[in-house]
Structure 1
Amino acid sequence: MDLLIILTYVALAWAVFKIFRIPVNKWTVPTAALGGIVLISGLILLMNYNHPYTSLAQKAVIAIPVTPQVTGIVTEVTDKQNMRIKKGDMLFRLDQTLFKARVDRLNADLVTAIHNIQVLRGQLEESLANTSNVSAERDRLYKNYQRYLSGSKARVNPFSEQDIDDARQNYLAQDALVKGSVAEQRQIKSQLDSMVGGEQSQIVSLRAQLAEAQYNLDQTIIRAPSDGYVTQVLIRPGSFASSLPLRPVMIFIPEQKRQVIAQFRQNSLLRLTPGDEAEVVFNALPGQVFSAKLLRIIPVVSGGTYQAQGTLQSLTIDPGSDGVLAVVELDPDAAVDALPDGIFAQVAVYSDHFSHVSVMRKVLLRMTSWVHYLYLDH
């Protein structure tokens, strides 16, 4: 841009010399040169300070790496590459055989567990009835034993020692049956009383396993997280897709506002205020200027970020890592929407200070856009 200003001044000075027939001598040429230096330097300083410009800008887009939640062999892949798709549309599908088998097995186990609970309830009722019967028999044998025991204390004992011992043994044997029946009831009750949230714990466990298995089965169909598109689809049926987060198999670009990330010099922060008017030109659209607005300044410089490691950290002074990043939001425009994401651009921001100088910045920005017709690298 500075070169464009100098060339413009040189062209104007030459025109003035020619039109007004000003003689070329040792006074006029130095005067024009020194006047140009003072004028151009002042204008450039005012313009650069109050209306920052950068050629380091890019149409930014957020990409989502797609990694399946489960591991398997790819059986089907969407054919809508680089085409707009809706949220929930299939991106690719994994082989479901093992996951379906696990769901079916857990469904069967759940039915069996529910049936077993019903069987346990029946066994408990049977055990209660059995306990009642053996308890009644025990009470009868106890009374019989007491009758034999009372008779043995009479003056004339009508019972032999063998009869009394048999009555005693019969009673003790029946009492043991009662205790065994009561113990069986407690065991069955303990299984039935193992409750979680009002439901038997084994059934709760199986339902949780079934929900997890069903979730894994559902994850064999990887769907679009939002409206957007997928690009560079390199997987094919037969590819192995792993659930490791470091091995995404696809890149999804969600629909989002069209923004440009611009890198300015650090001293431009003095005049970068969110809400300022901005303009953007793209290398791919020569001769066109697009209105925009400075949305925000990213509050960190990439070169100043540090991470814990086993060595002492020194300053990061890499070329190009000391700029301040700003987010510029473009006004809706069909031409911009049609551009590929990630394309390069140039950005100028116009502050409220010395607004009359912004005219020169706008002219220079448009001249920069016209230069793009020449296929020059910037």
Structure 2
Amino acid sequence: MMIALMALYLALLFTLVWLGAIRFNAFWKASPLVVLLLLNVGLFIPMGWGAPQGKALVYRNAVSIVPDVAGEVMDVPVRPNASLKQGDVLFKIDPTPYDAQVKAIEAQLKLSSTRLTQMTSLYERDAGRGFDVEQRQSEVDQLKAQLQSAQWNLDKTVVRAPADGYVTNVALRKGARVGNLSAAPVMAFIDTSATQVAVEIDQINARYVAPGDAVEIAFKYVPGRVLSGKVESVLQAVATGQTLVSGAAVAPKGIETVPFVVRVALDDAELAKALPAGATGTAAIFTDHVKVSHVLRRVLLRQISIIDYVNPF
């Protein structure tokens, strides 16, 4: 844009000199440098504060699928990258041992309940002890808790989708044995119930960014279009500013200036769902400062969106 403005000024200056409207003296010879300085100081540098620009990235939360029970896989009906609703079946584990455990506890509970009824009846006729009734009641309560736990294990032999989304890279097959160790997930589930967009803004330009500011984004995935949104929040920490609990002394290292991250919500929720995780683009945030620069930033962003048709980087 600066090149275009300077070219426009030089063309105008040449035309005025050629028409004889002005004399090409030392002042007009030096005027391009003056105009260049004024454009930088008066417009382009303040534009970074009033309408900062940065790289945008679409990301989604991923859930590592780890079954709550161990066993042999009986069925894997899910297909890679197929759309799923919350509660859809991902895979099934052989329920035989867990079903047997439920039935065994149910049988014990039935017997204990009968004994409790008998002890209660004897106690009410003054032919039994209250201690025996309390003991049988305790056995029944414990068996009910065990039955609840066993039934939970049985239900967990059917592993379901935790939210709307899809499973990618499905390598699990029938006959495989899976465990309930968090270090050994068997699937990666991509949650599409919410689409998150992160924008990197240089620290020198992030001072005026606030929740609610208007945002425009040109994604390479949809060239020629500019999507609108709002700033949800400005993340108040980056990894370089994080201190972990450790028994070691402070280890000095080179301090680098890294961008801050701004989380953005797109206005078009349906299009947001269609954007693949990892889609990148260029975003502009319009703050309440230096509003005169907003028009220029909007023009620049639309130029980028058109160039995206041919620019893969």
Bin for the TM-score computed over the shorter chain: 0.7 to 0.9
Q: Judging changes above 3 Å, is the alpha-carbon distance between structure 1 residues 63 and 9 closer, same or farther for their aligned structure 2 residues?
A: same
What does residue 72 of structure 2 align with?
73
Q: Judging changes above 3 Å, is the alpha-carbon distance between structure 1 residues 375 and 239 closer, same or farther for their aligned structure 2 residues?
A: farther
- How many percent identity over aligned positions? 30
TM-score of the pair, normalised by structure 2: 0.86
What does residue 169 of structure 1 align with?
none
How many angstroms apart in 1 are the aligned matches of 2:126 and 2:39? 109
Q: CA deviation at 1:63?
A: 2.1
What does residue 48 of structure 1 align with?
48
Equivalent residue of 1:296, what SS?
Answer: strand
Q: CA deviation at 1:351?
A: 1.4
Q: CA deviation at 1:126?
A: 11
Q: Judging changes above 3 Å, is the alpha-carbon distance between structure 1 residues 221 and 192 closer, same or farther for their aligned structure 2 residues?
A: same
Report whether the alignment pairs 1:256 with 2:197. Answer: no
User: Could you say which structure has the higher helix fraction?
Assistant: 1
Matches for 1:193-342 after TM superposition, within 5 Å: 193-194=134-135, 200-314=137-251, 322-332=258-268, 334-342=270-278
Q: Partner letter of residue 47 of structure 2?
A: M
Q: CA deviation at 1:70?
A: 1.1
Structure with max Cα Rg: 1
What does residue 192 of structure 1 align with?
133
Q: Is the CA contact 2:192–2:273 (under 8 Å) kept in the aligned structure 1?
A: no
How many angstroms apart in 2 are the aligned matches of 1:325 and 1:358? 21
Q: CA deviation at 1:214?
A: 0.6
Q: Judging changes above 3 Å, is the alpha-carbon distance between structure 1 residues 74 and 35 closer, same or farther for their aligned structure 2 residues?
A: same
Equivalent residue of 2:207, what SS?
Answer: helix
Q: Partner letter of residue 267 of structure 1?
A: I
Equivalent residue of 2:98, what SS?
Answer: helix
How many angstroms apart in 2 are the aligned matches of 1:29 and 1:247? 72
Q: Judging changes above 3 Å, is the alpha-carbon distance between structure 1 residues 315 and 338 closer, same or farther for their aligned structure 2 residues?
A: farther
Matches for 1:91-102 after TM superposition, within 5 Å: 91-102=90-101
Q: Is the CA contact 2:164–2:193 (under 8 Å) kept in the aligned structure 1?
A: no
Q: Is the CA contact 1:283–1:372 (under 8 Å) kept in the aligned structure 2?
A: yes
Q: CA RMSD in A?
A: 2.9
What does residue 139 of structure 1 align with?
none
Q: CA deviation at 1:118?
A: 5.2
Equivalent residue of 2:215, what SS?
Answer: strand
How many angstroms apart in 1 are the aligned matches of 2:232 and 2:44? 25
How many angstroms apart in 1 are the aligned matches of 2:29 and 2:276? 49
TM-score of the pair, normalised by structure 1: 0.73
Q: Is the CA contact 2:216–2:227 (under 8 Å) kept in the aligned structure 1?
A: yes
How many angstroms apart in 1 are the aligned matches of 2:120 and 2:209? 76
Deviations 1:320-354 (A, max 9, x none): 7x322211111116544322122112111111222
Q: Is the CA contact 1:257–1:329 (under 8 Å) kept in the aligned structure 2?
A: no
Equivalent residue of 2:12, what SS?
Answer: helix
What does residue 12 of structure 1 align with?
8
Greater shift after overlay, 211-220 or 31-40? 31-40
Task: Note the residue ranges of structure 1 that are not aligned, 5 or more in a row.
Answer: 129-184
How many angstroms apart in 2 are the aligned matches of 1:19 and 1:232? 64
